[in-house]
């Protein structure tokens, strides 16, 4: 199977590259992938806003599957850069969708829990109405709707709270802070599902192999608050740092975060894909970082 990946340098993209190139041992427990080839252009060679450039890349690669994980993901930055957020996350994604249709490629588009407003108190299903409260979520919700019109068989994979090696992520920040402070304060009124990029990458490739379509929620099993997440990270790191719960109101940010954005695994499990718990994932992440 021939894959084309937009966003190879990102936290998720790096893991997709590793799995398809065999650069690293697969620790996710997923079944081995069928023989595959990968084209992964650098961001400078594949600006999503450049329709002609995107088309040329897809024309040259002629992929069976395009994985679109490239995006403008600075949630707070999107609030002050609405035009850029929509240019990349919606219009850029549409450029990919139109070229995918032209060359007969399937598309897996990465989306987010931020398409929901967080008012629900049970896991969000793929059929629940979208109601984003910030520009980032709005740009992704717009992309979901517009891409589906161009490619009815698109696979839209929503995920949340990504962490993993190869860049900035919550566990790395917590370990660094906890190693230098006697106490850290972490928000305890936002609940979601931490998702390990190693596990996510494996699940996405399994979905491609299964010719998946429609909206699918892809996260590690279970849910927690950021405070719960931090407590587990500190405990597993063997640190004595105290973790103090605080409210979102005590740490105001430009973009409003969903208070509850747990995504139901039902759509993922229907393809017989099951991810480990977030607790198991953080243990493996910390073992990788320490080793």
Kindly list the catalytic residues. 136
By the 8 A CB rule, do 219 and 159 touch? yes
| C-alpha to C-alpha distance for 172 and 77, rounded to whole angstroms | 21
Radius of gyration of the chain (CA): 19
By the 8 A CB rule, do 222 and 278 touch? yes
DSSP 44-78: GG--TT-HHHHHHHHHHH--SEEEE------HHHH
Backbone dihedral angles phi then psi of residue 156, each to the nearest 5 degrees: -105, 115
262: helix, strand or coil: coil
7: helix, strand or coil: coil
């Amino acid at each position: 199977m021939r894959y084309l990946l937009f966003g190879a340098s990102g936290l998720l993209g790096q893991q997709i590259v590793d799995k398809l190139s065999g650069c690293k041992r697969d620790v996710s427990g997923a079944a081995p992938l069928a023989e595959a080839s990968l084209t992964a252009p650098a961001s400078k060679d594949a600006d999503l806003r450049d329709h002609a450039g995107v088309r040329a890349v897809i024309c040259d690669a002629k992929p069976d599957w395009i994985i679109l994980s490239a995006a403008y993901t600075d949630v707070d930055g999107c609030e002050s850069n609405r035009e850029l957020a929509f240019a990349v996350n919606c219009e850029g994604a549409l450029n990919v969708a139109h070229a995918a249709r032209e060359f007969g490629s399937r598309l897996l588009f990465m989306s987010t829990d931020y398409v929901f407003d967080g008012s629900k108190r049970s896991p969000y299903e793929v059929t629940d109405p979208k109601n984003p409260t910030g520009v980032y979520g709005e740009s992704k919700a717009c992309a979901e709707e517009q891409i589906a019109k161009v490619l009815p068989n698109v696979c839209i994979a929503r995920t949340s709270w990504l962490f993993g090696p190869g860049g900035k992520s919550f566990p790395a920040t917590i370990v660094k802070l906890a190693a230098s402070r006697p106490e850290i304060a972490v928000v305890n009124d936002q609940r979601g599902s931490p998702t390990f990029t190693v596990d996510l990458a494996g699940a996405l490739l399994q979905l491609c192999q299964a010719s998946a379509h429609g909206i699918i929620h892809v996260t590690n099993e279970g849910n927690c608050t950021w405070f719960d997440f931090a407590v587990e990270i500190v405990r597993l790191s063997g640190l004595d740092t105290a973790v103090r719960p605080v409210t979102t109101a005590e740490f105001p940010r430009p973009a409003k975060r969903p208070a509850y954005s747990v995504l139901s695994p039902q759509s993922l499990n229907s393809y017989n894909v099951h991810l480990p718990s977030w607790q198991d994932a953080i243990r493996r992440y910390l073992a990788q970082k320490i080793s």
